[in-house]
Structure 1
Amino acid sequence: MEIVDCYRLLGLRTGASYEDIKASYRRLARIYHPDANPDNQQQAKERFIQLTDAYRRLTSIVKPSPSRTAGTKPANSTPNPRSASSDERNLNRSVQSTTPPAASPRKSSSPRSSPRSSPAKPPPSPPNTPSVQFAPDLSSIDRRLKQNTYEQLQQALREQRFPRAITLVEGLAQRMPNDTEVRQWQAITYQRFGRYLIKHNQQEKAKLYLRKALRTDPNNRSLWYEVERDLQRIEQVEIL
């Protein structure tokens, strides 16, 4: 198997880092593991073996970055929670718009605390409140997969690692083609990448991804509004 084919099987661009290779393999291995595909085990097994061979071939050539092997965390690797990007806010909004609000807590009947007592902490979130929406017939494996992919997608968008974000969301969309929430994430990812390309003067490529966002989620009015603004920005740049 050629090196280029190994990258292609793992959904990566040539020259991807060791960490990206490892993350992509883990994600795809969960999707194509024979145990996760009881209705099509033989085909899943063949794909699983191909993925494993590609992973072994690449990791024998590509080595971890020095900061990883030394056990130290790279600088600025942990994003500031107060500076969450618009990408994460958009993904969160797409989830919150379909998640029913938690019931407001009852007022406590305990007597007033003394002036010197510390202020009361806000009540914790309900223990089983999901961060994403799950269809009733979704298997436990697919539930975990969707939740994990959502979290990885948020991180990739925060770090502006758009090729990885696209690989994540497209893989999930192939697994769950009828999930409207996943389709929203996919369209948002395309739109954010298009906006990133505008900033880096790649106008033609930006147009492709912005139009791809519209085709992916054509009924999302807020997305249409943002894409139209982005396309107008491109036209202004081209006029100048």
Structure 2
Amino acid sequence: MKLGDCYRLLELRADARPDEIKASYRRLVRRYHPDVNPQNPQEAHRKFIQITTAYKSLLQASHRSTRTATKVKPKPRYAPKMPELSVAEKRLKFDSYKLLQQLLKEQRFARSVALVEGLAQRFPFDVEVRQWQAITYQQWGQQLIRDRGSDRPTAARALEKARIYLKKAAQTDPHNRSLWAKVERNFRELEQLY
């Protein structure tokens, strides 16, 4: 079997790493195992054999290439490193952070969101900007829960908007544990209000 066919059968790119090959193999084996497909066991068995053969071929090719190849740097699994900022960009970021702090202190959340979303577009790989954005979303969601209003339609709109911003906060910075704890607390408050 040709290597190109092996990659195609395992639904991989030609530059897939061994761990990606293994993960894809396991996923496809679970999908095409004859015991899982009782409605068409012959076709499932045929596909299962093809996937297993392709996996073994790729493993052998991978072992041969690692023995003969010189040291190759592995691909990073994280987002690309942000390029070094110029002096003007550092100044812009610092001034924006000061303005963001002031806006959040004054509870001017619409303006805060506009500011951090603009920064996120300007510095797409900046971890700090992503954190500021997530914190801003969470704080606005929290404020919407607290100031939901007394009449039912207004409160319902405010709570739905709070839910949206809390979800955005969790998605923007999913590895920030302290933020996650605050968002979970806010979601529990939301559940109690519904």
Q: TM-score, normalised by structure 1?
A: 0.42
| Distance in 2 of aligned mates of 1:137 and 1:220 | 24
Larger radius of gyration: 2
* Deviation digits for residues 29-84 of structure 1 (CA, Å, limit 9, x no counterpart): xxxxxxxxxxxxxxxxxxxxxxxxxxxxxxxxxxxxxxxxxxxxxxxxxxxxxxxx
What is aligned with 2:169? 213
| 1:207 Cα offset (Å) | 0.3
Q: TM-score, normalised by structure 2?
A: 0.52
Letter in 2 for 1:188: I
**Which one of the candidate residues 204, 210, 217 is aligned to 2:160?**
204
What is aligned with 2:111? 164
**Which one of the candidate residues 136, 140, 148 is aligned to 1:189?**
136
Letter in 2 for 1:172: L
| Distance in 1 of aligned mates of 2:183 and 2:95 | 28
Question: Which has more helix, going by share of residues?
Answer: 2
Runs of 5+ in structure 1 lacking a partner?
Answer: 1-134
Secondary structure of the structure 1 residue equivalent to 2:84: coil
* Deviation digits for residues 94-127 of structure 1 (CA, Å, limit 9, x no counterpart): xxxxxxxxxxxxxxxxxxxxxxxxxxxxxxxxxx
Letter in 1 for 2:105: R
| 1:172 Cα offset (Å) | 0.7
| Distance in 2 of aligned mates of 1:188 and 1:136 | 24
**Which one of the candidate residues 177, 193, 204 is aligned to 2:124?**
177
* Deviation digits for residues 176-229 of structure 1 (CA, Å, limit 9, x no counterpart): 000001100000000000001001221111000000001100111111111000
Letter in 2 for 1:221: R
Percent identical pairs in the alignment equals: 58
Letter in 1 for 2:126: D
Higher RCO, 1 vs 2 (CA within 8 Å, ≥6 residues apart): 1
- Residue correspondence of structure 1 range 1-240 to structure 2 within 5 A: 137-201=84-148, 202-238=158-194
